[in-house]
Every structure is written in C-alpha cells, then in structure tokens.
Amino acid sequence: MNVNHLVKRTISSASQKLPSREEVESVQQVLRDAEFVLWSTMQPRDQRHSVEVLRRFDVLAPSAQTSERAAALLHDVGKNASQLGLVTRIIATIIGPRGKRFSLYHQHEAVGAGLLKAVSDARTVELVAGSCHDDVAAALRDADDI
C-alpha cells in the first residue's frame, strides 16, 4: 500500500465538486456513448480523478490508442458498485475486504471490467481489469499514482 498515494488521493477526494464543462466535453471526445453513461455515474471525485489520470497518461503514453485513453478515464468505474463514500473508502482501504461492500471496493478492477465488457473495446476492458502488463499498462498505473 503506497501511503503517499493514499494521502494525496484522500486530500484531492475531499471535494465533491463536479468536473468543469470543458473537462466533461474532453471526456466525451474519448469515450463511446455507453462508456460515457457509465463514467457519468461515477462520484464527482472519481470523475475529476479520472480526468487527471488521463492528463498524466497522455504525457506518459503520447501515442496511446483511444481505447487505452478510455481505460485511463474508466479505471475506477467499478468503485460505484460498493456505494462507499470517502470515509468508508478510507476504512475499507485500512481494514481490507470485509463484508460485501468493502469486498466490492477492493475488487473494483474486476467489477469495472465486467461493466465495460459489453460496451467497450477489448483493450479498454483488459486495461481496466489490470490483466495486462505491457508498457501502456505500466503508464496507466504510473498515471494513477497521484
């Protein structure tokens, strides 16, 4: 568990401010319509985080395909299933996958990949699932390490 990542993420997650109109428009340019619907269901803190991850990913992987850029935006879409707020996410991170909701939170990659399977490119799904270990996947992990 990277403590610095967790502290930075907690601080940036405190606000439930919505992404700007410009940020939402930039997301729409990357995602398929059905993917955008799923992205829109994410908590505002996760939406803002995904936009920042995409910005960082674009620097780390400037020749990434659209499907790979979509994965940067959708990498946390599975967190919705747990229905946890900021404080309960912190608790879940500390105590682990105890109970249904905390387990769903810890399995968010697999949950997200399952949600995307019917609406996304296979490359997007495998990156969200964390099941590939190539340079693009490494760039996505690094971009997420905020």
Domain count for the chain: 1
Range of 79's domain? 20-144
**7: in domain:** no
Return the pLDDT at 120: 98
**Residue 39 within any structural domain of the chain:** yes
Residue 8 lies in a domain: no
pLDDT band at residue 8 under the 50/70/90 scheme: low
> pLDDT tens digits, residue range 116-133?
999 999 999 999 999 999
For residue 5, is pLDDT > 60? Answer: no
10 Å CB burial of residue 2 (0-12, 13-18, 19+) is exposed
70 domain-assigned: yes
pLDDT at residue 76, rounded to an integer: 94
In a domain, 49, yes or no: yes
For residue 3, being part of any structural domain is answered with: no
**2, two tokens:** 């990277």
Q: How many Cβ atoms sit within 10 Å of the Cβ of residue 96?
A: 12
| Residue-wise pLDDT tens digits, 66-106 | 999 999 999 999 998 888 988 888 888 888 888 898 988 88
Rounded to whole angstroms, the Cα distance separating 16 from 71 reads: 22
Integer angstrom CA distances of residue 67 from 33, 41, 70 = 13, 19, 5
Rounded-to-integer distance, Cα 16 and Cα 94, Å: 22
Q: Would residue 55 count as lying in a domain?
A: yes
Alpha helix positions (H), the chain: 3-13, 21-30, 33-40, 44-60, 66-74, 86-95, 99-106, 108-116, 122-129, 135-144
How high is the pLDDT of residue 146? 79
